[in-house]
Amino acid sequence: MPISRETLSFLIENRLQNSREWFHEHKDTYRRYVLQPLMELAGELAPVMWEIDGEIIAEPKVGKAISRINRDTRFTKDKSLYREVMWLAYTRDRKRYPCHPGFFFEVSPDGFRYGCGCYYMPPAVMERLRRLVLDGNSVFTAARREVEGQSHFQLEGDFYKRTRYPGQPAALQPWLERKNLNLIHNSQDFDLLFSPGLGKVLSDNFRKICSFYAFLLAGAIEADVI
């Protein structure tokens, strides 16, 4: 079954109730409208992920490709028990590879987004990525050609307050002046979100950014943090 309005309604209400008792009373609703659609979508995307990188973890299970709905509140001021954002994340084994570029799909009551990037990108990785850019390495030129040849995904990441590479061409600045790099598509197309065709759209678009993934992976490997 596809993601539906009931999926979003449950995420909103569960977050507002903020109650373990309420969640357990409505666990069947969670399984039907949240977990089952995400499991089906994750299963549909798994072959594409393995096609891109055979080491990616793509099992359609909670704690593997599917996020948990309960929040870890040990190290945050926000003590809300549950999140209203759910996601699918496809990365290599996080226990073996601390820095894990990967693909993701995220859904919330506000819409959805998907793309490729890192949850946390160590400075050492960004330094290696910048070196690949400055050297004109083929893995970067392939990623750049891929990104500049489309308009569906946007390059994102926090910029430094001060320019670090003023002498470099303007076309390279978005790759050099950021603290992190992600390629993301944001959407509020709820008709697509609730459509059985969502998985195919995601699959087709993920295939179009595999060179960007290879670029991030190369930086992580060269920085020896993966």
Give the model confidence (pLDDT) of 143-174 as tens digits.
999 999 999 999 999 999 999 999 999 999 99
Which one, of 91, 101, 99, lies nearest residue 225 by Cα? 99
Answer yes or no: are the C-beta atoms of 179 and 167 closer than 8 Å.
Answer: no
- pLDDT of the residue at 225: 56
Q: What are phi and psi of 3, to 5 degrees?
A: -60, 145
Helix (H, G, I), strand (E, B) or coil at 7: helix
Which one, of 142, 130, 157, lies nearest residue 223 by Cα? 130
* Residue in the block written with tokens 């309604």: 9
- pLDDT of the residue at 95: 75
Report the DSSP beta bridge partners of residue 184.
Answer: 115, 154
- pLDDT of the residue at 55: 95
Other beta carbons within 10 angstroms of residue 20's beta carbon come to 11
CA distances from 203 to 44, 61, 65, 90 (A): 8, 19, 15, 12
Amino acid (1-letter code) at residue 141: T
- pLDDT of the residue at 119: 84
Q: What is the CATH number of domain 5-222?
A: 3.30.930.20
The distance of Cα 59 from the centroid of its chain, to the nearest Å, equals 16
Q: Determine the Cα–Cα distance for residues 219 and 36; give it in Å rounded to an integer.
A: 36
Structure tokens at 207: 């295939």
Radius of gyration of the chain (CA): 19
Ranges of the chain whose pLDDT falls below 70: 73, 97-98, 225-226
Helix (H, G, I), strand (E, B) or coil at 225: coil
Q: What is the pTM of this model?
A: 0.94
Which one, of 180, 176, 184, 189, lies nearest residue 216 by Cα? 180
Report the DSSP beta bridge partners of residue 87.
Answer: 106
Structure tokens at 14: 């569960």
